[in-house]
Amino acid sequence: MFFTDFKTAISDYSKGYALLSELKLWRFILIPTLISIGVASAVIWAAFALSDNIGGYIADFWPFSFWEAGIRAISIFLGWAVIIIFGMIAFRHAVMAFSGPFMAPIAQKIEDHLTGEKTKSELDFMTSLVRSIRINARNLIIELLITFPLLILSFIPVLNLITGFLIFFIGAYFAGFGNLDYTLERHFKFKDSITWVRKRKGIAIGNGTVFMLILMIPFVGILLVLPLSCAAATVSAVNRLDK
């Protein structure tokens, strides 16, 4: 069941792309793209502005006078890396949260097309925004709590090979979760949506895996990732809602 859902969620990206073009939904990407650029700029600024402070704090744990300069340089690099890693996690959730009201229409139009029925959303702009922020804030906190100890373990040789994959797929799960909720918000209350995704982890991780890979593409990833992932998640969700 898990691997079937995982593979299907990945293949639904081709269907999602076709529907975005067929239904002329690419026009919805402007505001989410501007949100992505703004949040990404804030993360990059924080990385350069705070890396020295965090690096200095880490370097203070070194109790010896020798190698002090080298340890401080390494610590500054580690500080920069920590900000980038946690900043990228925060970036994903912030962009998905504030783009919720703009992604929901894409999900609704695709759902209407697939079901042949005109669905009416009970969520207005502000209600959709609040729910999107609530979902992504919850997911952000849980992801950070899981990722932080894994990041510490990643400094241990051999273990870092495992923790790297775990951090990636945990991020993929929560990214897929956020994409699925653009459709689920019209069908489930907050807690019921969480339960639905937990029972279909393969869909969330499959969708989120492609989301994370697209996001790694410089510039183009920021432009395409939200509408494409939303469209793919809608196809995946609609095909399983009746089940």
Q: What is the pLDDT of residues 211-239, one digit of tens each?
A: 999 988 888 888 889 999 999 999 999 99
User: 60-79: per-residue pLDDT in tens?
Assistant: 655 555 566 666 666 666 76
- pLDDT range class, residue 137, cuts 50, 70, 90: very high
Judge whether 44 lies within some domain.
no
Contact between 108 and 77 under an 8 Å Cβ cutoff? The reply is: no
- Residue showing tokens 């899981």: 146
Amino acid identity, position 179: N
User: 142-178: per-residue pLDDT in tens?
Assistant: 999 999 899 888 877 778 789 989 999 999 999 999 9
**To the nearest whole percent, how much of the chain has pLDDT over 90?**
51
Q: Which long-range contacts (CB under 8 A, 24 or more apart) does 53-58 make?
A: 53/79, 54/78, 54/79, 54/82, 54/83, 55/79, 55/80
Judge whether 68 lies within some domain.
no
Q: Give which of 46, 47, 31 is closest to 103, Cα–Cα.
A: 31
Judge whether 43 lies within some domain.
no
**Residue 64: left (phi > 0), alpha (psi -120 to 50), or beta?**
beta
**Count of helices and strands (H, E) across the chain:** 9, 0
Judge whether 196 lies within some domain.
yes
User: 82-108: per-residue pLDDT in tens?
Assistant: 777 888 898 899 999 999 999 999 999
Judge whether 90 lies within some domain.
no
| Contacts of residue 55, Cβ cutoff 8 Å, sequence gap at least 6 | 72, 75, 76, 77, 78, 79, 80
Contact between 19 and 233 under an 8 Å Cβ cutoff? The reply is: no
Domain total in the chain? 1
Average pLDDT for 33-39: 84
Cα separation, 119 vs 222, whole angstroms: 29
- Go through 112-139 and write b for each residue having 16 or more CB atoms within 10 A of its CB, e for each that does not: eeeeeeeeeeebeeeebbebbbebbeeb
Judge whether 184 lies within some domain.
yes
Residue 10: pLDDT above 60?
yes
Structural domain harbouring 185: 2-38+100-238
- Residue showing tokens 């207005």: 124
Judge whether 64 lies within some domain.
no
Q: Is the pTM of this model over 0.85?
A: yes
Judge whether 70 lies within some domain.
no
